[in-house]
Chain A
Amino acid sequence: MMTRSKSMYGYYLLWPALLIYTVFFVLPAIIGLYYSFTDWRLDRIGIKFIGLDNFNKIFTDDTLILALKNTFIFAIATVVGKNVIGLVLAIALNMRLKSRNFLRAIFYSPSILSVLVISIVFTPMLRTEGMVNKFFDAIGLHFLSQAWLTDPHIVIWTVALVSIWQHAGFQMAIYLAGLQSISKEYYEAATIDGAGAWRSFTNITVPLLLPAININLMLTLIGGLKVFSEVFVLTSGGPGNSSQVIGTIILRAFGEGNWGLGTAINTLLFLIVSLIAIPLLVFMRRKEVTE
């Protein structure tokens, strides 16, 4: 049986994908890895191997450390926000509501739009005398009026909020998929046993939704750590450097002509995401198997 199935599923069907992926993604990444140990610059002819100098520089640069901090803030805020909101929406929209399909489409719709749309629409709305603050003032919640995009202490949170606004609907779709694969019988049985809504949620929904939770956590975490375009189009890392993240800092290094440093930060980003995502993946797979 084993031997036959091996011979039957020839690897040749895998070649096209492997080839495209390796040539156009992996190979450039490996070359990039090499450059991250060099002093490659636009304004210098010749490339010198400089070992870990670029990496030393990263950890002594205040802006880079701030960018690391902002990246983590953004990642954590969006993981929590997108998943909590996505799950709540999914549970609500899994109920028998009249406008269910309409609401699903509405909540999902921002995630199909270009990030350019988001930035162009939100930039005027988030000004200090913009619509968002006017709204909060009108309903008497003055303390919620903020300098959303210009206060260095909150700007990264604002970008995270906009990202949640855009993508929570996508997480909702995955949670809905998960909820729909849970058989109604479990809930009926639980109701007969006298379990309340909360018990049903923790004892049935959460364990059976685990695959959807895992995939969502994984996607939002990886996306959050690799964030670039939301920050770039909303603030370009500003005001000052207060909303720089790793993704935008790479561009800054390139802009200063320091290509070696730029690729080194890229490598660092890869390491950070790997170190967080791979153990999480392994842990989740184990958990799914044991459940």
Chain B
Amino acid sequence: MNQTTRKLSLGAVSAVLALSLAACGSNNSNSESGSTGSGKKVTIELALSKSSQDSAFVQQDLLDEFEKQTNIKVNLQLLPAEQTSTVLQTKLAVNETPDVLQYNLASATTDLNLERNFETLDDQPWVSRLQNKDVLSAYGHIYSFHVSQDTGMQGVVYNKDIFKELGLEVPKTYDEFLAACEKIKAAGYTPIFMPFKDNWAANVMPGAAFGEYAAKNEPTLFDDLNANKKKWTDIPAFQTILDQQYDLYKKGYTNTDVLSDSYDMAAGKFLNKEVAMMFMGDWLIESVQQQDANMNLGLFAYPTDNSGDAYLGASPLGGQLFIPKKAKHIEEAKKFLDFIATKEVAQEIVNNQSYVSNFSDVTTPELPAYKQEILDNYITPKKVAMTMDAFMLVDRSELYRSLQDQFTGSISSQKVLQAWNEKFAELMKDKGEAGF
């Protein structure tokens, strides 16, 4: 008994040592392979949110082809969506970054400190072929990469078949919108799906409507807010817009459990023909149609008033690739961008995703019907305004949380704006912005 125990314990100790040595060893060989580069296989790490795993840049056949051509392996780090920014921030702060990461340019400027943490890409070979540098730039430099220049459009995603079935036209005014809701509800469908367990979804309609208000009435509004010349509580229209969203829920035009339903349920709700409308971006249409090409969805602008002249919200391009300054394999990471930027690869991605190409030598494929409609009805007649989020310098999560609070019935729209006004000032002050 004693003998065996001792043997076991000794065995255990040596096992620990052996394993830690092995682990150390493999770790060393990793960093070694990084420094030599030529000949040996190099692995670069590409980090992205789990929710972006369908991104065109990380499809396995693309990565395999890249590995075959360059002997560089791309390892994906899929981060849980709700922790993506925190994990990336932590890694950037301690200089242990992935080699490439996919993120939204606008959020990267507010969450990840672009200037301090990321490589500028102005000198890259593909830059000369870009048609629209703005969608990849901040502070006058190109910080990110994408093959598309297509900004997401936000408004009301709707099921055209249900509208046709009920003889409904796209509502042009607020009153028409309410009437449509009433009719849809009477027919047994849920008029509007609000998945506000994901708090950002509660900001889609207000974000677009705030932007529209500013574009039409006070073009300098967001600059004034960012300079502390105006307060969020100074704009009565904001309060009206928040009240409208809450009223739609109170009138029973939505799913009953708005705070339990999450965004991942949205596609299913449309596919099952349970809901007729939703405040969302056109990217949802794309993904629903990928699951069922017969789904007949479209996008219209939410009418906040009865003027009959509603705008869509344009959100900044998202899903760009970035290279951190402290990446261990910067050259290999740049090669990966070069690879995607080659005419053939970019053309294939643009075709598959129906992107609006950002490269002069890559042609934009024929747009799907819903995109053509958006182009004809809104973009060409310039009925588009940048959403509120495009102008913000700080993280908006607290505003989104306050919007949830409004839907629990615990605070009024006025309180939402008050709370956000305070938080906004605090965040801007912490960030060191002038005027706060």
Residues on A lying within 8 angstroms of B by beta carbon are 41-45, 123, 127-129, 147, 149-152, 236-242, 251-252, 254-259
Nearest chain A CB to B26's CB is how many angstroms away?
20
Given contacts A44-B432, A256-B427, A127 and B113 within 8 Å (CB-CB): no
Interchain Cβ contacts under 8 Å between A and B, 29 examples: A41-B430, A42-B89, A42-B93, A42-B113, A43-B431, A44-B432, A45-B116, A127-B257, A149-B260, A151-B408, A152-B408, A152-B410, A238-B199, A238-B259, A239-B404, A239-B407, A239-B408, A240-B401, A240-B405, A240-B408, A240-B410, A241-B405, A255-B89, A256-B395, A256-B397, A257-B89, A257-B111, A257-B113, A258-B430
B residues near A129, Cβ cutoff 8 Å: 256-257
User: Is B82 an interface residue when CB atoms closer than 8 A count as contact?
Assistant: yes
Residue of B nearest to A123 (CB): B260
Query: Does any Cβ of A come within 8 Å of B86's Cβ?
Result: yes
Cα(A45)–Cα(B325), bound, Å: 15
How distant is A16 from chain B, measured CB to nearest CB, in Å? Answer: 10
The interface residues of chain B lying within 8 Å CB-to-CB of A147 are 257, 259
Task: Indicate if the CB atoms of A150 and B430 lie closer than 8 Å.
Answer: no
A239–B405 touching, CB < 8 Å: yes
A-B pair count, CB < 8 Å, reads: 81
Q: B90 interface residue, CB < 8 Å from A?
A: yes
B432 to chain A: which residues have CB within 8 Å?
44
Within 8 A of A (CB), among B391-425: 395, 397, 401-402, 404-405, 407-408, 410-411
Convert B378-398 into 0s and 1s, putting 1 for each residue whose CB lies closer than 8 angstroms to a CB of A.
000000000000000001010
Q: How far is the CA of A238 from the CA of B260 in the complex (A)?
A: 11
Q: Tell me which of B86, B116, B260 contacts A150 (CB under 8 A).
A: B260
A240-B257 contact given A42-B113, A256-B395, A257-B89, CB 8 Å threshold: no
- Decide: A150 near B259, CB < 8 A? Known: A42-B113, A44-B432, A240-B401: yes
A59 vs chain B, min Cβ distance (A) = 14
**Which residue of chain B has the shortest Cβ distance to A241 in the bound complex?**
B401
Quick one: which of B85, B113, B199, B407 contacts A255, CB cutoff 8 A?
B85
Residue in A42, A238, A251 whose CB lies within 8 Å of B401: A238
- Contact A255–B86 (Cβ < 8 Å): yes
The reply to whether A254 and B408 form a contact with Cβ atoms under 8 Å apart is no
Question: Which of A123, A127, A254 is close to B86, meaning CB atoms less than 8 Å apart?
Answer: A254
Instruction: Determine the distance from Cα of A240 to Cα of B403 in the docked complex, in whole angstroms.
Output: 7
- Contacts of B259-285 to chain A: CB distance below 8 A: 259-260
Secondary structure class of chain B's binding surface, majority of residues: helix
B209 close to A (CB within 8 Å): no
Give A150 to B249 CA distance when docked, in angstroms. 15
Q: What is the interface residue range for chain B against chain A?
A: 20 to 34
Indicate if the CB atoms of B82 and A240 lie closer than 8 Å. Answer: no
**CA distance in complex: A147, B408 (Å):** 10
Q: CA of A241 to CA of B398 in the docked complex: distance in angstroms?
A: 9
Within the complex, what minimum Cβ distance (angstroms) separates B332 from chain A? 26
- In the bound complex, residues from chain A placing their C-beta under 8 Å from that of B100 are none
Q: A149-B260, A239-B197, A257-B113 are in contact. List 15 more A-B contacts (CB 8 A).
A: A41-B430, A42-B93, A43-B431, A45-B116, A128-B260, A129-B257, A150-B408, A152-B408, A240-B405, A240-B411, A241-B401, A242-B405, A242-B410, A256-B395, A256-B427
Chain A residues in 8 Å Cβ range of B411: 240
From B256, which residue of chain A is reached at the shortest CB distance? Answer: A128
B362 in the interface, Cβ–Cβ < 8 Å? Answer: no
Interface string of B99-119 (1 = CB under 8 A from A): 000000000000111001000
CA distance A257 to B93 in the complex (A): 10
- Top 9 nearest A-B pairs (CB, nearest first) are A240-B405, A150-B259, A43-B113, A239-B404, A240-B404, A127-B260, A152-B408, A240-B401, A239-B259
The answer to whether A255 and B408 have CB atoms under 8 Å apart is no
Judged by a CB distance under 8 angstroms, whether B63 is at the interface is no
A259 touches B93 (CB 8 A): yes
Q: Is B92 an interface residue (CB 8 A)?
A: yes
* Contact, CB under 8 Å: B408 / A242: yes
Assembled-state Cα–Cα distance A28/B257 (Å): 43
Complex contact A128–B257 (CB within 8 A)? yes
Contacts of A151 in B (CB 8 A): 408
A69 to chain B, nearest CB (A): 15
Within 8 A of A (CB), among B56-106: 82, 85-86, 89-90, 92-93
Q: Known contacts A152-B405, A257-B111; is A43 also within 8 Å of B397 by CB? A: no
Q: Which residues in A have their C-beta under 8 angstroms from that of B93?
A: 42, 259
Which B residue sits closest to A240, measured CB to CB?
B405
Q: Which residues of B contact A237 (CB under 8 A)?
A: 401
B431 to A240, Cβ gap below 8 A?
no
List, in ascending order, chain B residues with CB within 8 A of A257's CB. 89, 111, 113, 395, 430-431
Q: Which residues of A contact B260 (CB under 8 A)?
A: 123, 127-128, 149-150
A240→B256 contact, CB < 8 A: no
CB distance from B187 to the nearest CB of A (A): 21
